[in-house]
Structure 1
Amino acid sequence: MTRIDAVIFDIGNVLIEWQPENFYDRTIGEARRKAFFAATDMHTHHLQIDIGASLPGLIQSLLPRYPEWQEELRMWNDNWNDLAAPAIDHSVRLLYALKRSGVPVFTLTNFGHDNFPISQQAFPFLKEFDREYVSGRLKLVKPDPAIYAHVEQDCGIAPERLLFADDRPENIAAAADRGWQVHQFEHPQGWADRLVAEGLLSKEDAA
């Protein structure tokens, strides 16, 4: 078994839920939410945030394009910590358990440069990483091989000694292509079992 020298967490749908549809369903109702997403294709627009655009700036630029959806568009910025929520508690416990065990813990996340600090204020565990690789700061996004190369160069750890958890198969595949150890995240218990299997946590610590 190859020794793991650092564990790398994705954030969305690994440590905090990223299902903004749920917020809009609660706030404006499912039917109007479906119409809003169909009219604006917000997930595609949000990719600009991940690669370095300002969240409030993007929303301002979209308001003239979608005048009938101004209130909903503003919610994407004004209610950010309701969209990117709640915490996935078991995953958070795993993060802290690794820290207590002395395992270096990084994040590699597609996240905006100005909304990441907002999430860190709401979820203090997002301040616990030993190294932060945030796409909006780097202007590189997963699964571009360049962002993985940046991580390797910056941390100085051999690829095969990095263990990376992400929910998206294309991001996992790109890391595996570079020789990283990988785990496709589906639920916290599966991630806990992998960390135990790697000898990084005991079963008790991974509970």
Structure 2
Amino acid sequence: MTEIRHIVFDIGKVLIHYDPEIPFRRIIADDRRRAWFLSEVCSPQWNVEQDRGRNWQDAEMELIDRFPDEADNIRAFRQNWNEMVPYAYERSVAILQQLLSDGHDVTMLTNFASDTFREAQAKYPFLVASRGVTVSGDIGIIKPDPAIYARHTKDFGLEAAATLFIDDSEKNVIAAREFGWSAVLFEDAEGLVRDLSDRGIAVD
């Protein structure tokens, strides 16, 4: 096994919690109607296009044209986005910070809209602590497209075989491995400690 010299963190559901249900439990109190809205209107498939770089105004208008009666709720998604990222995973952040303090080369690679990512950085200062970050919304490419791994590798001068990627999505982990990185599926912080230890990287 090649020595790991570069560690790449995903962000959502690895370092910070994300859940659009949180504000919408207040906005749409009925469980069945809320489930329909978040699966059929402001769906994950719709939201990922903002991660790919589509601006929010265009995103909202596309839905409002199709669901005019839901206009206020559609706009509420962006307006209440901050509530969807209510806390960081303290143990994961502690691991990140120890890796940095121990001198490891750490970067981040995330599917995130450009503007909301800057809000997240302002809310969670550890998101500016690594050597740098590739944000999908900035470059118009999203995981698991192999091009985003190639772009991150090139931009940060990584050696693919010496790179470890940490992500909560199995498809993103598989794509990273196919690109040539080592990659682990994040399930919890203690599992991450074990995965790092297996690769000769000790954290408390």
Matches within 5 A, 1:43-82: 43-82=44-83
**CA offset digits 1:47-102 (Å, max 9, x no partner):** 11111112344224433432222232222111111113321111111111111111
TM, length-normalised to structure 2: 0.91
Structure 1 residues 153 and 95: CA distance shift in structure 2, 3 A: same
**Per-residue deviation, 1:189:** 1.2
Structure 1 residues 126 and 2: CA distance shift in structure 2, 3 A: same
In 1, Cα distance between equivalents of 2:3 and 2:23: 41
Residue equivalent to 2:10: 10
Residue equivalent to 1:179: 180
- SS in structure 2 opposite 1:183? strand
Residue equivalent to 2:195: 194
In 2, Cα distance between equivalents of 1:41 and 1:19: 13
In 2, Cα distance between equivalents of 1:19 and 1:191: 22
In 2, Cα distance between equivalents of 1:61 and 1:85: 28
Structure 1 residues 11 and 63: CA distance shift in structure 2, 3 A: same
Structure 1 residues 91 and 27: CA distance shift in structure 2, 3 A: farther
Matches within 5 A, 1:31-180: 31-180=32-181
In 2, Cα distance between equivalents of 1:81 and 1:56: 17
Letter in 2 for 1:14: V
In 1, Cα distance between equivalents of 2:67 and 2:124: 32
Q: Does structure 1 residue 20 correspond to structure 2 residue 20?
A: yes
- SS in structure 2 opposite 1:102? coil
Query: What percent of counterpart residues are identical?
Result: 34
List alignment gaps of at least 5 residues for structure 1: none
In 2, Cα distance between equivalents of 1:53 and 1:103: 34
In 1, Cα distance between equivalents of 2:57 and 2:189: 32
TM, length-normalised to structure 1: 0.90
**Per-residue deviation, 1:139:** 0.7
In 2, Cα distance between equivalents of 1:19 and 1:80: 9
Letter in 1 for 2:117: F
In 2, Cα distance between equivalents of 1:44 and 1:171: 16
The answer as to whether partners of 2:27 and 2:73 remain within 8 angstroms in 1 is: no
Structure 1 residues 158 and 195: CA distance shift in structure 2, 3 A: same
How many residue pairs were aligned?
203
The answer as to whether partners of 1:56 and 1:77 remain within 8 angstroms in 2 is: no
Letter in 1 for 2:191: G
In 2, Cα distance between equivalents of 1:43 and 1:11: 17
In 1, Cα distance between equivalents of 2:139 and 2:35: 32
Letter in 2 for 1:23: P
The answer as to whether partners of 1:55 and 1:112 remain within 8 angstroms in 2 is: no
In 2, Cα distance between equivalents of 1:41 and 1:61: 11
